[in-house]
């Protein structure tokens, strides 16, 4: 079972390379883009059984589900806010009154939607870090913990930097500052992904198991 977990994880962590080139192909590209996540989930499930550490799988699973659920609910809230805003246009006689009455509520709904998406994403990344940390403790390959830490710092730090530079850019009328986190975040995430790849290939197969 350990060897299966290693193989599935190695294939899953490398599949994004294929997804980059094949994503444009209808259906096949989307399935390949989804496959890495599925394979990593199965890999973590097998590792949790091998090492008798249920949190390796459970926290990883929650780390995947919570951001998806948060994004879905957040998008629904944002669409509701947009729909309510557009509905005011169908009554031009009361357009100004409707806008004034609904404006504050729509802004609050939009803020809630965005905050929900970001909060759930941060929780998800933190849970994935916890899962990779537990896997590192179980298998002795600390690069798993490092990869999870890079993912966590990249996302949380990237959002914080984007907000900070956004405020500075607005105050100083320098929109170019916003490109700094936009460039740095993918590079940092790439470093985490490479570390994750190396971690999987540092795992030694167990000849006594399959």
Contact 73, 116 (CB under 8 A): yes
Do the domain assignments include residue 97? yes
d(CA 176, CA 170): 10
Indicate the average pLDDT of the chain. 83
Do the domain assignments include residue 41? yes
Q: How many domains does the chain have?
A: 3
Closest Cα to residue 2, out of 33, 35, 47?
47
> Structural domain of residue 73, as residue ranges?
54-122
d(CA 106, CA 93): 20
Q: Per-residue confidence at 88, pLDDT binned at 50, 70, 90?
A: low
Task: Compute the C-alpha angle 125/60/5, nearest 5°.
Answer: 130
Considering the domain architecture, whether residues 147 and 210 belong to the same structural domain is answered as yes
Considering the domain architecture, whether residues 25 and 41 belong to the same structural domain is answered as yes
Do the domain assignments include residue 134? no
pTM of the predicted protein model: 0.81
Q: Which residue has the higher pLDDT, 31 or 95?
A: 31
Query: What average pLDDT does range 50-77 have in this prediction?
Result: 91
């Amino acid at each position: 079972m350990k060897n299966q977990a290693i193989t599935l994880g190695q294939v899953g962590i490398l599949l994004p390379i294929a997804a980059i080139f094949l994503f444009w192909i209808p259906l096949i590209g989307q399935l390949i883009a989804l496959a890495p996540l599925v394979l990593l989930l199965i890999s973590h499930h097998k590792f949790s059984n091998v090492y008798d550490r249920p949190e390796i799988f459970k926290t990883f699973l929650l780390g995947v589900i919570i951001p998806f659920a948060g994004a879905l609910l957040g998008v629904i809230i944002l669409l509701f806010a947009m729909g309510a805003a557009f509905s005011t246009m169908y009554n031009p006689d009361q357009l100004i009154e409707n806008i004034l009455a609904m404006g504050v509520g729509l802004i609050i709904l939009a803020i809630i939607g965005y905050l929900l998406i970001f909060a759930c994403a941060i929780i998800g990344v933190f849970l994935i870090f916890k899962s990779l940390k537990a896997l590192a403790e179980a298998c002795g390959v600390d690069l798993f913990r490092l990869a999870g830490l890079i993912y966590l710092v990249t996302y949380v730090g990237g959002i914080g930097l984007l907000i900070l530079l956004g405020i500075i850019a607005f105050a100083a009328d320098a929109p170019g500052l916003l490109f700094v986190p936009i460039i740095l975040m993918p590079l940092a995430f790439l470093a985490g992904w490479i570390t994750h790849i190396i971690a999987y290939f540092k795992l030694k197969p167990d000849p006594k198991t399959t």
